């Protein structure tokens, strides 16, 4: 990766800040004095069923000992978590005290009033929360207007994971650009020197999987999905005129179609699990996957590539500034919860530097700069370097965070899937997607110009 | 003193009079709880759904939206995706029922032929096991078995020198695979009905046919098919309704993809209500689906009854 001056400067500043905050976090918190006595209470958390969810079991025992409260976590798949949280909010249910939000959901939950503004709580517990220690882009993700709707605890980035043994044998360098990615994928697929190995696996499944893939790649193709949404934009949602039928968008869909030939059979139905699994079982030479999957690749019970893979930045078109895709989760308080004190005690404890590090060492995604710089973490997660580079270049609005985000992503996913299946040409697909998304945005009061 | 007598009923009188008679009848208070229960669980939700379908409401945007008249229906009838969903639902229904009828009859005849053999009951039980599975489990199971890369189906095919199929992963094969999986699960239902029909045929008819020199196809056409026609009619209507409501397998295996290859009407409505939370639009979709189902079933019943009468 070529590092320009801006990136080097940002990395240096971020590192200095991380080291400073890391020193501060080394002072242990007296949790018994900091947390309330919640004996006899039960804290209910709704959680996404991502690979690290098992880490909560061991860590939460500490909280239970400290507070006397019992912690119950209900974890669900992506769509189910979203459904349950919307239904809980719309019915003003107090069933859950703590809820988690994916970055595209932030605007919807904030606008609907389903989550509390945590700004006052964060200020009151500033020394514990150390909000500035979180990855800067994720600090932005957790904000909506003047509110902070959640504490970032699960920052993800998409990295290129590649097989070091195969690349070395092939004499290939780690990929950097989209062309590198295509060439490497083509090299391994059908190569008799690498039997049963395909180039890569990507999200191709209709709906959110391929819809989100669009937003992962479009920036790195030099495009943007909406007129005023781009890195550095002062008002990302001021002009929501969709640009889904731009030349860059159509080129991206053509890329998705082209890449199918370098993927294992059945790739048309691949989503996050399948693309990661094919890499873990050694069927693909590389995969662009969320960093949340990376610890699983090192687990011998789940993966056969533990010692022979490395990571590098998400690829980009030559000449385009890279924008590594950012995603992940914030932890917020249900507006209708009846145990908000308990909920906040849990959130500030769980996301504190000390406990966050423990969570990361159990396989959780590092979301604090200090954690990314911690030697113990960097030993346990050698890809921390790639994460550190990614966070410096990422963009909070890489996926729209407006209330209509889910429907926009799904709509785009429908049409791209039809193009991948050959039901529509790439141009037709993106023109229809553009028209549908424009109508959706216009109907909901956004500025959309013809 | 004689007990009070109920007023004389007036079954042929004017409606108001008939209503008064009904309300005054001794049985009415005993029927009331059941009627109220049914009204609450069926009539009220339907009417509420109908009203909801004339609004633009989103659960994720409380307090926004309002009455939009027939806008939702206009959008629905001009939606390409809904049109595709309707066509594919009909294709799945026709394909599944045809496969279940043909295979079900062949297997019913097989079980009929070996009905007295040892182990035939066990075989019959094994054959109907798929019906015991929850449809969503069936969908998940087959999505794993038929995974082109990691599934056992292609592994077994490739181990005997054949190439694997795309199954659910290709737009060309996904719908056929869905029909096959659907038929695998519910084929035993029609088979059981047909077997029951065959078992009701008096043995003397077979003996008479044999004496007359009838061939097997004469027996099938003139003895067996007429015997199973009545029960089959009921089975076909039920399967038609079931196929129109098909959701679980699609949700578990394909989510309507790849592309729109397995989009069905129930998946369309589900997505609107439970993914986008457009409950007004989703309600309109469900109203249209209900009426289409009623229409389809009505025509099917009339057609089949007409055929039954013609044959008699």
Residue A421 and residue B171: Cβ atoms within 8 Å? Answer: yes
Question: Under an 8 A CB cutoff, do B62 and A111 touch?
Answer: no
More confident residue, B60 or B68: B68
* Average pLDDT in chain A: 92
Question: Are the beta carbons of B166 and A266 separated by less than 8 Å?
Answer: yes
C-alpha to C-alpha distance for A218 and B279, rounded to whole angstroms: 31
Q: What is the 3-state secondary structure (H, E, C) of A156-213?
A: EEEEEEEEHHHHHHHCCCCCCEHHHHHHHHHHHCCCCCCCCCECCCCCCCCCHHHHHH
**Taking 50 as the threshold, does the pLDDT of residue A25 lie above it?**
no
Confidence of residue B1 (pLDDT cuts 50, 70, 90): very low
Closest residue in chain B to residue A417, using alpha carbons only = B259
Question: Does B293 contact chain A (CB < 8 Å)?
Answer: no
List pLDDT tens digits, range A201-255. 999 999 899 999 999 999 999 999 999 999 999 999 999 999 999 999 999 999 9
Predicted confidence (pLDDT) at residue A6 exceeds the cutoff of 70: no
Q: What are the C-alpha distances in Å from A408 to residues A226, B59, B166?
A: 12, 17, 29
Residue of A131, A146, A176 lying closest to A331 (CA atoms) = A131
Contact A418 B148 (CB under 8 A): no
> Tell me, what's the pLDDT at A266?
87
pTM over 0.80: yes
Instruction: Determine which of B171, B174, B258, B261 to mutate to test the interface with A (most A C-beta atoms within 10 Å).
Output: B258
Percentage, residues of chain A above pLDDT 70: 94
CATH superfamily of A157-325+401-443: Periplasmic binding protein-like II (3.40.190.10)
User: Measured between alpha carbons, how far apart are the two ends of chain A, in Å?
Assistant: 38
Q: Which residue of A has its CA nearest to B255?
A: A206
pLDDT-derived band at A384 (thresholds 50, 70, 90) equals: very high
Q: What would the two tokens of residue B190 be?
A: 């029609």
Q: Which pair of tokens denotes residue A118?
A: 């945590």
Task: Please write the tens of the pLDDT for every residue from A89-136.
Answer: 999 999 999 999 999 999 999 999 999 999 999 999 999 999 999 999
C-alpha to C-alpha distance for B114 and A382, rounded to whole angstroms: 66
A323 touches A315 (CB < 8 A): no
> Domains of chain A: which residue ranges?
5-149+326-393, 157-325+401-443
- Please give, rounded to a whole number of angstroms, the shortest distance from the CA of A16 to a CA of chain B: 41
Structural domains present in chain B: 73-113+133-311 (1.10.3720.10)
Q: Which pLDDT band, with edges at 50, 70 and 90, does B310 fall under?
A: low
Is A269–B257 a contact, with Cβ atoms under 8 angstroms apart?
Answer: yes
Select the residue from A88, A211, A265, A441 to test the B interface by mutation, using most B Cβ atoms within 10 A. Answer: A265
Task: Choose the closest CB to A403 out of B60, B169, B257.
Answer: B60
CA-CA-CA-CA dihedral for B272, B275, B277, B278, to nearest 10: -20
> pLDDT tier at A450 (50, 70, 90 boundaries)?
confident
Alpha-carbon dihedral angle through residues B121, B123, B128, B130, given to the nearest 10 degrees: 150
Distance from B180 to chain A by nearest Cα, in Å? 18
| Backbone angles phi and psi of A243, in degrees to 5 | -120, 35
- Asked if B260 and A111 come within 8 Å (Cβ–Cβ), the reply is no
Partner A contacted by B197 (CB < 8 A): no
**Min Cα separation A427/chain B (Å):** 16
Q: Each residue of B259-308: pLDDT tens digit?
A: 899 999 999 999 999 888 999 999 999 999 999 888 888 887 787 777 66
Q: How far apart are the first and last CA of chain B?
A: 56
Q: With an 8 Å Cβ cutoff, are B260 and A207 in contact?
A: no
pLDDT at residue A7 tops 60: no
Q: Do B149 and A265 touch (CB under 8 A)?
A: yes
Which chain B residue shows the shortest CA-CA distance from A85?
B60
Chain B hits for A266, Cβ within 8 Å: 147-150, 166-167, 169
Answer whether A5-149+326-393 and A157-325+401-443 agree in fold: yes
The top-level CATH class assigned to A5-149+326-393 is alpha beta
Q: Do A421 and B62 lie within an 8 Å CB cutoff?
A: no
The answer on pLDDT for A17 being more than 60 is no
Predicted confidence at residue B301, as pLDDT, reads 78
């Amino acid at each position: 990766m070529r590092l320009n001056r801006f990136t080097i400067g940002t990395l240096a500043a971020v590192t200095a800040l991380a080291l400073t905050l890391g020193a501060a976090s080394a002072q242990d918190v007296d949790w018994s004095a900091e947390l309330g006595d919640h004996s006899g209470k039960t804290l209910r958390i709704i959680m996404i069923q991502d690979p690290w969810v098992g880490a909560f079991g061991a860590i939460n025992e500490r909280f239970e000992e400290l507070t006397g409260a019992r912690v119950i976590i209900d974890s669900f798949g992506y769509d189910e978590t979203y459904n349950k949280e919307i239904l809980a909010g719309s019915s003003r249910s107090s069933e859950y005290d703590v809820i988690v939000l994916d970055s595209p959901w932030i605007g919807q939950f904030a606008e609907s009033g389903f989550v509390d503004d945590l700004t006052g709580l964060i200020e009151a517990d500033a020394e514990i929360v150390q909000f500035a220690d979180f990855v800067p882009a994720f600090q932005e993700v957790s904000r909506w207007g003047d509110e902070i709707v959640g504490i970032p605890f699960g920052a993800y980035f998409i990295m290129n994971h590649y097989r070091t043994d195969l690349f070395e044998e092939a004499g290939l360098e780690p990929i950097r650009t989209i062309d590198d990615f295509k060439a490497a994928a083509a090299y391994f697929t059908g190569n008799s020197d690498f039997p049963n190995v395909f180039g890569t696996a990507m999200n191709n499944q209709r709906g959110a999987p391929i819809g989100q893939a669009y937003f992962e790649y479009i920036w790195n193709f030099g495009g943007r999905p909406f007129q005023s949404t781009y890195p550095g934009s002062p008002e990302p949602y001021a002009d929501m005129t969709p640009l889904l039928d731009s030349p860059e968008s159509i080129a991206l869909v053509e890329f998705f179609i082209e890449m199918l030939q370098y993927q294992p059979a059945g790739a048309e139905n691949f989503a996050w699990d399948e693309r990661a699994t094919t890499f873990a079982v050694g069927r693909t030479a590389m995969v662009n996957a969320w960093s949340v999957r990376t610890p699983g690749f090192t687990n011998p019970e789940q993966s056969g590539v533990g010692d022979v893979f490395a990571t590098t930045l998400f690829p980009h078109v030559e000449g385009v500034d890279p924008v590594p895709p950012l995603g992940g989760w914030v932890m917020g308080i249900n507006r209708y919860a009846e145990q908000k004190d308990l909920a906040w005690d849990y959130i500030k404890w769980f996301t504190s530097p000390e406990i966050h590090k423990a969570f990361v060492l159990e396989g959780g995604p590092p979301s604090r700069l200090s954690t990314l710089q911690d030697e113990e973490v960097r030993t346990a997660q050698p890809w921390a370097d790639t994460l550190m580079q990614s966070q410096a270049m990422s963009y909070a609005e890489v996926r729209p965070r407006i209330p209509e985000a889910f429907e926009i992503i799904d709509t785009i996913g429908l049409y791209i899937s039809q193009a991948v299946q050959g039901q529509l040409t790439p141009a037709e697909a993106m023109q229809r997607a553009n028209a549908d998304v424009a109508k959706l945005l216009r109907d909901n009061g956004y500025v959309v110009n013809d | 003193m004689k007990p009070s007598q109920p007023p004389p009923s007036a079954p042929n009188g004017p409606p108001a009079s008939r209503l008064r008679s009904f309300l005054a009848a001794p049985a009415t208070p005993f029927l009331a709880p059941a009627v109220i229960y049914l009204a609450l669980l069926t009539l009220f939700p339907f009417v509420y759904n109908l009203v909801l379908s004339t609004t633009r409401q989103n659960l994720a945007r409380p307090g926004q939206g309002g009455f939009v008249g027939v806008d939702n229906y206009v959008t629905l009838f001009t939606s390409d995706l809904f049109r595709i969903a309707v066509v594919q639902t009909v294709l799945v229904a026709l394909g599944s029922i045809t496969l279940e009828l043909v295979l079900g009859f062949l297997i019913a005849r097989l079980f009929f032929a070996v009905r007295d053999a040892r182990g035939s009951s066990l075989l019959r039980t094994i054959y109907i096991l798929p019906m015991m599975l929850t449809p969503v489990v069936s969908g998940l199971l087959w999505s794993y078995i038929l995974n082109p890369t990691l599934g056992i189906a292609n592994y077994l095919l490739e181990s005997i020198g054949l190439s694997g199929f795309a199954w659910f992963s290709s737009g060309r094969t996904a719908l056929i695979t869905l029909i096959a999986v659907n038929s695998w699960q519910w084929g035993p239902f029609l088979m059981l009905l047909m077997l029951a029909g065959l078992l009701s045929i008096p043995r003397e008819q077979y003996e008479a046919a044999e004496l007359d020199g009838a061939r097997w196809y004469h027996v099938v056409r003139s003895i067996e098919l007429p015997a199973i026609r009545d029960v089959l009619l009921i089975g076909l209507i039920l399967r038609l309704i079931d196929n129109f409501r098909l959701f679980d397998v699609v949700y578990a295996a394909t989510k309507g993809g790849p592309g729109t290859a397995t989009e069905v009407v129930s998946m369309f409505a589900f997505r609107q209500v439970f993914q986008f939370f457009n409950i007004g639009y989703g309600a309109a979709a469900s109203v249209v689906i209900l009426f289409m189902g009623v229409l389809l079933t009505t025509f099917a019943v009339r057609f089949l009854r007409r055929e039954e009468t013609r044959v008699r």
